[in-house]
Amino acid sequence: MDDRPVLGLDADDTLWENEVHFRETERRFVELMAPWADGSTTEAALLDTERANVAITGYGVKSFILSMVETAISLSDGAIGAEPISRVLEWGRQMLEAPVALLPDVAETIGTLADAHRLLLITKGDLTDQRRKVDASGLADHFWRIEIVAEKDTPTYRDILGRHGIDATRFVMVGNSVPSDVLPVLEAGGRAIHIPHDLTWALETATDSDIDGHEFPVLRNFGELPALLTGWRDPG
């Protein structure tokens, strides 16, 4: 029986770059909408649309593209033509075909983590796109299980832990998003480690009041993980 502890890992912006592709496409979108709105207006309108749509269309590139199309029609009062909309769709295809770029220290560290833990990848978003990135990352063989979910909230984590027979008190989750990778895991009875990324989507940021009363380590990079986890296993 494999009694190694289970270590949960987020994927996007924890193991590989993701938000950078969204930021670049949003920059293009702001330029596209310049005849109808300034940059701050376009960015705010797009975020409002994404926030309204996420419960219906979920996360990921396809939802993002749909929100851009909807925002473009709204900001232009329907005046935007087929050619600019086609351009938005092409940007989406480019994002869905973008190479997977591992973050610093991930390739060197993942094997060490897999030796001491059963690695459980937990990522949210579009099933097809997330699976493509896992396969293209070259990391798939290190994972004990892979969970691609619609949302990363407390009920989702409890469901995953229950289905796999994981004791929440022995479970650790690692990720770049406090609302998705840290707070719901703490609520479920586990522990969590935050590794911030330079770029974070507005809907994946936490306020001071969200964090108040919660304690969790914050690391500078993925390479610091093994030492921290060893310290947790062998205190003193």
Residue limits of CATH 1.10.150.240 in the chain: 19-96
* Residue showing tokens 């009920």: 155
Does residue 128 register a pLDDT over 60? yes
> What DSSP character marks residue 176?
S
Return the CATH architecture of domain 6-17+100-233: 3-Layer(aba) Sandwich (3.40)
Nearest residue to 182 (alpha-carbon basis) of 150, 164, 146, 206: 206
Does residue 165 register a pLDDT over 90? yes
pLDDT at res. 231: 80
Please count the other Cβ atoms lying within 10 Å of the Cβ belonging to residue 162: 11
Cα angle for residues 86, 89, 91 (degrees, 5° grid): 115
Nearest residue to 232 (alpha-carbon basis) of 174, 150, 159: 174
Name the token pair of 63: 């939802």
Q: Write the CATH number of the domain with boundaries 19-96.
A: 1.10.150.240
Percentage of residues in the chain having pLDDT higher than 70: 98
Residue limits of CATH 3.40.50.1000 in the chain: 6-17+100-233
* Residues 28, 22: Cα–Cα separation, whole Å: 10
With contact defined as beta carbons under 8 Å apart, do 198 and 178 qualify? no
Kind plus residue range of the DSSP H or E element containing 225: helix 225-233
Kindly indicate the confidence band of residue 73, based on its pLDDT and cuts at 50, 70 and 90. Answer: very high
pLDDT (tens digit, 9 = 90+) per residue, 26-56?
999 999 999 999 999 999 999 999 999 998 9
With contact defined as beta carbons under 8 Å apart, do 149 and 122 qualify? yes
Higher pLDDT among residues 116 and 212, named by residue: 116
pLDDT at res. 121: 98
What global pTM score does this model have? 0.93
Mean pLDDT for the stretch of residues 101-130: 96
> What DSSP character marks residue 219?
-
* Residues 175, 171: Cα–Cα separation, whole Å: 13
pLDDT (tens digit, 9 = 90+) per residue, 190-202?
999 999 999 999 9
Kindly indicate the confidence band of residue 223, based on its pLDDT and cuts at 50, 70 and 90. Answer: very high
Mean pLDDT for the stretch of residues 50-71: 95
Tell me which amino acid residue 109 is: T
Nearest residue to 184 (alpha-carbon basis) of 206, 164, 208, 217: 206
